[in-house]
Amino acid sequence: MSDVRSFRQRLLAGDRLVGTFLKTPTSHATEIVASLGFDFVVIDQEHAPFDRTTTDIALMAARGSNIPALVRVSGPEAVLSVLDCGASGILMPHVVSAEHAREVAALCRYRGGRRGYATSTRAGGYTAVPMWQHIRAADDAVTVIAQIEDPEALDEIDAIAAVEGIDSLFIGRGDLTAAFGNETPNPPEVRTAVERICLAARKADKPVSVYVGARPEAEWLRDQGATTFIHNSDQGFLRQAAMKGLAEMRDVLG
C-alpha cells in the first residue's frame, strides 16, 4: 500500500477502499492479494479454518507484504490474540446492541478500555517499543468494525452507530437475508435494513463497510454511501479462475 496513512485514518476519512476475505489458512493468499494492489485483507476466523497459529502466519505475511489485515474474529475471546499478533483491527460479528458495541470497543483499546497489555508481541515489536509509545500507537491505529447482521440490532442501530470506539458499521446482508426468511431475489426487508444502517451511520458520521460479489450490488451500495468494500474471497477468486480455465480447455479439446 503506497498511502502512508494508517488503514484506520483512511477508513475514517471516507476513502474508497477495496479488500477481500481470506479463507485459506496459509500465507500465500495474503502475499498474492497484496501484490495486486488491494487496500486490505480480512482474515476470516468466523467462517474459515483459521486458528491462532494460522492467523499469526497470515498476519506475518500481511506485515511482510505491507498490506493492512483485519481479522473477522470468531468471538470476543479472540480479540486480544489477533491484536497482539499485529492485526490492523477487527471485524466483530453479530453486534446486536449498544452495550455489546461498547464491550467490543473496550477490548480493542488500552486507554478507557480493557485490552490486556504486552509488548512481548509482534504488535509491541517484541519488547522493542516502549510501553506508552505502544499504547498511543495502538489506540490510534486499531480499527474496530461492528457487523450488523441481526434484525434485533436494527432496533438499536442509532445507538450502536453512536458508540465511541466503533469506527464503522459492516452490513451483513447474508445473515439478514437468512433471518428475514424471504427467499425472493433482493428481499425488500434487506434493502430497508441496508438503508436504515446507512442512515444511522451518516447521522453518527461513521463509514459503512460492505461485502460485494459483483458490480451491480457494489454500485447500489456505493450510492447508499458505503466506502469500504470487501470483494469476494481468495477461494471465490480461485473458483472463478478455475471455472474459466476449465471451460477454455474443454472448448479447445472438444
- Tell me if residue 100 is catalytic: no
Q: Where are the alpha helices (DSSP H) in 14-168?
A: 28-36, 52-65, 79-84, 98-107, 131-141, 151-154, 157-161
Place of cell 450490488: 217
Between CA 205 and CA 186 the distance in angstroms is 27
CA-based radius of gyration for the chain: 19
Q: Which is the catalytic residue, given 47, 100, 134, 231? A: 47
CB-based contacts of 98, cutoff 8 Å, min separation 6: 156, 159, 160, 162, 163
Residue with cell 474474529: 73
Question: What are the catalytic residues?
Answer: 47
